[in-house]
Amino acid sequence: MSVNTRRTAEGAAVATQAPTAPAAPTEPTTPATPTTGPITREELQLASRNHAMPLEMLRWPVTPLGMHYLLVHFDVPQIDPVSWRLNIGGLVNLPHEYTLPDLQHRERRTCAVTMECAGNGRSRLEPRPVSQPWDQGGVGTAEWTGTPLAPLLLDAGVSPDAVELVFTGTDRGIQGGVEHQYARSLTLAEAMSDDVLLAYEVNGQVLPPQHGYPVRLLVPGWYGMTSVKWLQSIEAIDHSFDGYQQLDSYRYTQDADDPGEPVQWIKVRSLMAPPGVPDFFTRQRTVEAGPVQLSGRAWSGKGTVDSVEVCVDGVWEQAQLQAPAGRHAWRGWTFTWIATPGSHELACRATDSTGQIQPETPEWNYQGMGNNDIQRLTVTVRE
Ligand SMILES: Nc1nc2c(c(=O)[nH]1)N[C@H]1C(S)=C(S)[C@@H](COP(=O)(O)O)O[C@H]1N2
Ligand SMILES: [Mo]
């Protein structure tokens, strides 16, 4: 398989050659090359389809539905729940076909999970990878309800020859010149983790169409691309999955030809709910002088958040931490700031139990993945 310049960021159209396909794909119009230029019409188109969580929603421990971020590569499919089936097959002893009620009648579990798009923070890189141009709001926490995946895999009897499971969604489109259904894989061990769910409800409601109705995979701790929406099949295979969303996209790479490393666990990050009142156009903040309660949330996919620090005009101090809403959910933090008149710079950063800390400046990569750089905001304090 010729990968040529196929490796690109999430959602980006890319100048590419057809790998070995007989018919050349339609020539994409946007170059994938990172740019320092203004936001393009294609980026605006993606940004308005795939909305962020407004940062004031950090005040809620569970993000209200509709305020959770959204990322859809292709079109939201329209799925008839009556004819919908989930197929489990490939290298298994007993292939299964499940209806929605079949899954709903199995063990039911609810879990608060912080999900973040791997491309969150992408537009803050320089030069900027041309794709969904997230600033910082590509994150949210929801209470997902579903059935654990592991018992379904045990029922299917995955063959000892199987090394990975491929999760395929119903949605189809073209990315990097390759037409495919959205699909991602996990190793058998990863898929058997007790945390992994097939979710059919979110925040106590039926999954809305945009979040994967009727059933999505949910892999807590991993960046969002792993949690395949509109799930249609799970297939056990005896090799490493080489689908576009696995091998070409979601890699930490330095250029178009670098195979790089796979994007997996969510890096440590904290964000602050912007204090005071915003300016409509610039979003700059204004607060009254005196004690100001700063607050926000912090999370890490692999470890647990051990500390959050707040920086006022270059001086770091510890914030107070709250208990997380769940093992895979963010935890709240607060900090009382005595605001004095003038202009001030605020920042926050988290450290997790694996020793990861947020970087001062973004760590650049070609696809704009996993940028967890420190949030900074300028606040004007009035007498
Ligand atoms: N089938 C399918 N699953 C998908 C996607 C997609 O486009 N198609 N996008 C992925 C990405 S990149 C992210 S970040 C999350 C977003 O989930 P949400 O829109 O429910 O927040 O879904 C993932 N699952
Ligand atoms: Mo994503």
- Report if residue 42 sits inside a domain: no
Higher pLDDT, 4 or 349: 349
Looking at the structure, do residues 80 and 199 belong to the same domain, yes or no? yes
Distance CA 5, CA 32 (A): 9
Atom of ligand 1 nearest to the CA of 115: 21
Indicate the top mutation candidate among 182, 184, 210, 229 to test ligand 1's pocket, ranked by most ligand atoms within 8 A of CB.
229
Q: Which two tokens stand for residue 183?
A: 């699909």
Distance CA 241, CA 236 (A): 10
Q: How far is the CA of 349 from the centre of ligand 2 (A)?
A: 22
pLDDT at 10: 57
- Report if residue 43 sits inside a domain: no
Looking at the structure, do residues 235 and 153 belong to the same domain, yes or no? yes
Looking at the structure, do residues 308 and 331 belong to the same domain, yes or no? yes
Task: Show the domain range for 252.
Answer: 48-262
pLDDT at 307: 98
Looking at the structure, do residues 227 and 339 belong to the same domain, yes or no? no
Does the C-beta of 128 come closer than 6 Å to ligand 1?
Answer: no
Looking at the structure, do residues 84 and 158 belong to the same domain, yes or no? yes
Looking at the structure, do residues 52 and 158 belong to the same domain, yes or no? yes
- Report if residue 376 sits inside a domain: yes
- Report if residue 130 sits inside a domain: yes
Atom of ligand 1 nearest to the CA of 140: 21
Does the C-beta of 256 come closer than 6 Å to ligand 1?
Answer: no
Express each pLDDT in 12-38 by its tens digit: 444 333 344 343 333 343 346 899 999
Q: Ligand nearest 73 Cα, by number?
A: 1
- Report if residue 141 sits inside a domain: yes
Looking at the structure, do residues 213 and 154 belong to the same domain, yes or no? yes
Does the C-beta of 73 come closer than 6 Å to ligand 1?
Answer: yes
Exposed / middle / buried, residue 143 (Cβ in 10 Å: 0-12, 13-18, 19+): buried
Last residue of a domain, one of 242, 262, 282: 262
pLDDT at 325: 84
Does the C-beta of 72 come closer than 6 Å to ligand 1?
Answer: yes
Last residue of a domain, one of 262, 282, 309: 262
pLDDT at 139: 99
Return the half-sphere exposure (C-beta side, CA atoms, 13 A cut-off) of residue 375: 24
* CATH assignment of the domain containing 223: 3.90.420.10
Predicted model pTM: 0.93
Q: How far is the CA of 122 from the centre of ligand 2 (A)?
A: 11
Q: How far is the CA of 182 from the centre of ligand 1 (A)?
A: 9
Last residue of a domain, one of 233, 262, 291: 262
Looking at the structure, do residues 120 and 177 belong to the same domain, yes or no? yes
Does the C-beta of 244 come closer than 6 Å to ligand 1?
Answer: no
Does the C-beta of 196 come closer than 6 Å to ligand 1?
Answer: no
Looking at the structure, do residues 216 and 364 belong to the same domain, yes or no? no
Express each pLDDT in 162-201 by its tens digit: 999 999 999 999 999 999 999 999 999 999 999 999 999 9
Looking at the structure, do residues 167 and 209 belong to the same domain, yes or no? yes
Exposed / middle / buried, residue 328 (Cβ in 10 Å: 0-12, 13-18, 19+): buried
Express each pLDDT in 98-112 by its tens digit: 999 999 999 999 999
Does the C-beta of 46 come closer than 6 Å to ligand 1?
Answer: no
DSSP per residue over 207-272, as a string? PPGGGTTT-EEE-TTB-GGGS-SSEEEEEEESS----IIIIISSEE-SSTT---EE--BPPPEEEE
* CATH assignment of the domain containing 276: 2.60.40.650
Cβ–Cβ < 8 Å for 328, 111: yes
Does the C-beta of 182 come closer than 6 Å to ligand 1?
Answer: yes
Does the C-beta of 9 come closer than 6 Å to ligand 1?
Answer: no
Q: How far is the CA of 212 from the centre of ligand 1 (A)?
A: 8
Does the C-beta of 119 come closer than 6 Å to ligand 1?
Answer: no
Looking at the structure, do residues 204 and 326 belong to the same domain, yes or no? no
- Report if residue 108 sits inside a domain: yes
pLDDT at 15: 38
Does the C-beta of 374 come closer than 6 Å to ligand 1?
Answer: no
Express each pLDDT in 222-251 by its tens digit: 999 999 999 999 999 999 999 999 999 999
Number of domains the chain contains: 2
- Report if residue 192 sits inside a domain: yes
Looking at the structure, do residues 254 and 281 belong to the same domain, yes or no? no
Atom of ligand 1 nearest to the CA of 69: 21
Provide the 8-state DSSP code for 155: H
Atom of ligand 1 nearest to the CA of 138: 14
- Report if residue 128 sits inside a domain: yes
Express each pLDDT in 287-335 by its tens digit: 999 999 999 999 999 999 999 999 999 999 999 999 998 999 999 999 9
Does the C-beta of 207 come closer than 6 Å to ligand 1?
Answer: no
Q: Ligand nearest 232 Cα, by number?
A: 1
Atom of ligand 1 nearest to the CA of 230: 1
